[in-house]
Amino acid sequence: MSFSLDSGRTLALVGESGSGKTTVGKALLQLLRGTASITGQAHLDGMALDSLQGPQLHQARRAIQIIFQDPFASLNPRMRVSELLQEGVAALQPHISAADRLARIETLLDKVGLPRSSLTRYPHEFSGGQRQRLAIARALAVEPRLIVADEPTSALDVSVQAQILNLLSDLQKELGVAYLFITHNFGVVEYLAHDIAVMKDGKLVEYGPAEQVLAHPQHSYTQALLRAVPRLARRA
């Protein structure tokens, strides 16, 4: 497995369930230390992520955040939205004052299309699409360089999927954040991906610009996926 990802771009990591997509994302986030044997290196802005320890690793976690697949399970039901969104900032940027943290998360709610009155509410009071907007705001709260989006729309209906994809695209253009977008759905991929990496059985079988992979897939597995999956039209 080898790939690169630049600021302001989206790499879609595509493959069927069990192909290893989420494992790659967790490995980048350094969430598999002590539970899996990982070889090779992952670099972010010149930092070798796999060799970081202590305070350096703590700071690196600010640079890489994750949006989980299930918005119903990824938000602590006991915490109000204000606590959910400020938790990461307080942990990873403790020098920021409480007033500045509040101002930041209020601005983030504006960006993800939710009213500021949401801060006093609990996750169960929101729809699935609204919860995923909260999850996006939480990931952005610490101003990361890279977001691993692990099937962030698969638990949502099609109309809400389009809204979330539009939101992610708009935020990327505004903030310059990079996405590693993990999915099994090529329909979602062509909506916002700049580059595509196709995985099968834990290996990378095809990798290239989205236009090239979608229009002229070289591997038989990629061709089969494209034939099988209904696709959304790319937004102009």
3-state helix, strand, coil in the chain (%, to 5): 45, 15, 40
pLDDT (0 to 100) of residue 235: 56
On average, the pLDDT of the chain sits at 91
Distance CA 228, CA 105 (A): 41
What is the average per-residue pLDDT within 114-134?
95
pLDDT tens sequence across 85-121: 999 999 999 999 999 999 999 999 999 999 999 999 9
Banded pLDDT at 233 (limits 50, 70, 90): low
pTM here is 0.90
Angle between helices 128-140 and 158-175 (to 10 degrees): 20
pLDDT (0 to 100) of residue 232: 53
- Which superfamily, per CATH, for 10-78+145-228? P-loop containing nucleotide triphosphate hydrolases (3.40.50.300)
pLDDT tens sequence across 30-85: 888 888 888 888 998 888 998 888 888 888 888 999 999 888 888 999 999 999 99
> What are the φ and ψ backbone dihedral angles of 67, each rounded to 5 degrees?
-110, 120
Write down the domain spans for the chain.
Answer: 10-78+145-228
